[in-house]
């Protein structure tokens, strides 16, 4: 049995189906960009399921079957190269269509298997596509120069100042021991300051957003930066407020840069966070 024709392509059941994402069928009145699939040979095309289309390519089951794919994904170079390909395809599609992006290496063994999954989630997919239409996803990461934050806390924090006054009234012997505790207190208050500062920035930006998600911070091994990541969050924005959102971040960056705070905003991205299918 053959797959139905899709955008002038014919597909055979022997091929695996690699799924990039889901777009509204109405959007495909504008042709898909001419892109190669994961294997670098097959073309991208769309399969229609009434109101929604699946953007896919075909793969050779001998090269991309379960065992072969496991070998490939255990190769860090292969993984990096083709995960980047997947992301780049999604970015190109996102230029023209609202899209529910699929995870890297979402592969179906047959058209019937893909259809079964889409039938199961179709209503939810349609709701998600409606929700992200005319909206953009942006990411904000807040970094700090930890020494500057600690220095500010040591000089201006009320809890720290109170502890200093308490120590000053002690005997010299007690002061030595308590000063060690003071250093620990400064570290604790600095951590609180990082959290409070980041939460306030997030709260201000969330007021411009339809939806937000706070993500896990990355360590320096991942960021490759000397400063410390204190916050990592995602925002779903109406296109009409994007300029105000970016202006607000620029203003906050200028205000706080000398104090050791740095803000990195990136986007727009395909809706990785607000159009997820389990």
162-196 residue pLDDT tens: 666 666 656 666 656 666 676 777 778 889 989 99
Residue 164, pLDDT score: 64
Q: Measured in whole angstroms, how far is the alpha carbon of residue 45 from the centre of its chain?
A: 26
Element (DSSP H or E) covering residue 268:
strand 261-269
- CB-facing half-sphere around the CA of 27: CA atoms within 13 A: 24
Residue 276, pLDDT score: 84
Q: Which two tokens stand for residue 241?
A: 């407020």
The pTM is what? 0.82
Number of residues that this document lists for the chain: 278
Residue 152, pLDDT score: 81
Q: How far apart are CA 230 and CA 244, in angstroms?
A: 23
Q: What is the pLDDT along the chain (278 residues), one digit of tens a residue?
A: 234 334 434 444 489 999 999 999 987 677 888 999 999 999 999 999 999 999 999 999 999 999 999 999 999 999 999 999 999 999 999 999 999 999 999 999 999 999 999 999 999 999 999 999 999 999 999 999 998 988 887 767 767 666 666 666 566 666 566 666 767 777 788 899 899 999 999 999 999 999 999 999 999 999 999 999 999 999 999 999 999 999 999 999 999 999 999 999 999 999 999 998 86
Residue 26, pLDDT score: 83
Residues 87, 101 contacting (CB under 8 angstroms) = no
CA-to-CA separations, 18 to 14, 90, 156, 202, in angstroms, rounded: 13, 13, 57, 37
CB atoms within 10 A of CB 220: 11
Name residues whose C-beta falls within 8 Å of residue 269's C-beta, 6 or more positions apart in sequence: 91, 94, 136, 137, 138, 139
Residue 184, pLDDT score: 76
Residues 53, 7 contacting (CB under 8 angstroms) = no
Residue 5, pLDDT score: 39
Cis peptide before 268 (omega within 30 of 0): yes
Q: In this structure, what are the phi and psi dihedrals at residue 58, rounded to the nearest 5 degrees?
A: -100, 150
38-59 residue pLDDT tens: 999 999 999 999 999 999 999 9
Q: How far apart are CA 211 and CA 87, in angstroms?
A: 23
Element (DSSP H or E) covering residue 128:
helix 111-132
Residues 262, 144 contacting (CB under 8 angstroms) = yes
Q: How far apart are CA 108 and CA 64, in angstroms?
A: 11
């Amino acid at each position: 049995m053959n797959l139905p024709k899709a955008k002038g392509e014919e597909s055979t059941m022997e091929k695996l189906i690699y799924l990039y994402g889901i777009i509204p069928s109405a959007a495909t009145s504008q042709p898909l960009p001419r892109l190669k699939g994961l294997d670098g040979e097959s073309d991208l095309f769309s399969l229609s399921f009434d109101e929604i289309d699946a953007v896919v390519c075909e793969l050779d089951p001998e090269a991309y079957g379960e065992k072969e794919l496991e070998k490939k994904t255990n190769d860090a170079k292969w993984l990096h190269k083709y995960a980047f390909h997947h992301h780049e395809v999604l970015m190109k599609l996102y230029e023209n269509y609202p899209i529910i992006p699929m995870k890297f290496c979402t592969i179906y063994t047959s058209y019937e298997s893909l259809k079964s999954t889409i039938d199961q989630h179709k209503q939810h997919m349609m709701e998600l596509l409606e929700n992200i239409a005319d909206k953009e996803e942006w990411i904000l990461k807040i970094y700090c120069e930890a020494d500057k934050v600690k220095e500010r806390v040591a000089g201006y924090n009320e809890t720290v100042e109170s502890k200093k006054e308490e120590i000053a009234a002690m005997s010299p012997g007690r002061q030595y021991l308590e000063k060690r505790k003071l250093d620990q207190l400064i570290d604790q208050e600095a951590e609180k300051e990082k959290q409070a500062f980041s939460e306030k920035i997030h709260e201000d930006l969330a007021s411009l957003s339809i939806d937000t998600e706070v993500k896990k911070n990355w360590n320096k091994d991942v960021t490759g930066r000397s400063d410390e990541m204190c916050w990592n969050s995602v925002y779903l924005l109406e296109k009409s407020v994007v300029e105000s959102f970016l202006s607000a971040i620029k203003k906050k960056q200028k205000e706080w840069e000398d104090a050791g705070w740095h803000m990195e905003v990136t986007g727009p991205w395909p809706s990785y966070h607000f159009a997820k299918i389990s």
